[in-house]
């Protein structure tokens, strides 16, 4: 009987832990503007998405790709000068 009780307690704790993780991931995904099942995201994928959100590589690449030269010289890396030029065009206060 003790083993069955221990298993029940362990399953309950696991369910609570999973619910807490799901809630945290939902909050993170909402902050990132992503609508998806939180269990579809591995921890490493979520960390990479947060890093990219902070560093802005995807956002800058999409903006710079739209403005890239006809010769297609834009590579995966964005130079500091390109970032500064792009940021100069953004009104910070309206």
Supply angle C-alpha 88, 92, 60, rounded to 5.
55
pLDDT in tens, 11-46: 999 999 999 989 999 998 888 888 888 888 888 988
Q: Decide if 67 contacts 82 (C-beta within 8 A).
A: no
Structure confidence at residue 8 (pLDDT): 92
- Give 91 or 10, the one with higher predicted confidence: 10
pTM of model > 0.85: no
pLDDT in tens, 38-89: 888 888 988 888 888 877 776 666 665 555 555 455 555 667 777 777 777 7
Nearest to 76 by CA among 52, 43, 42: 52
Can you give the C-alpha Rg of the chain in angstroms? Answer: 22
């Amino acid at each position: 009987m003790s083993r069955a009780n221990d298993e029940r307690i362990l399953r309950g704790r696991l369910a609570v832990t999973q619910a807490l993780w799901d809630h945290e991931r939902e909050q993170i995904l909402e902050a990132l503007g992503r609508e998806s099942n939180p269990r579809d995201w591995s921890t490493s994928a979520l960390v990479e998405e947060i890093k990219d959100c902070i560093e802005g590589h995807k956002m800058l690449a999409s903006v710079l790709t739209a403005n890239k030269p006809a010769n297609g010289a834009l590579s995966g890396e964005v130079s500091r000068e390109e970032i500064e030029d792009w940021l100069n065009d953004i009104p910070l206060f309206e």
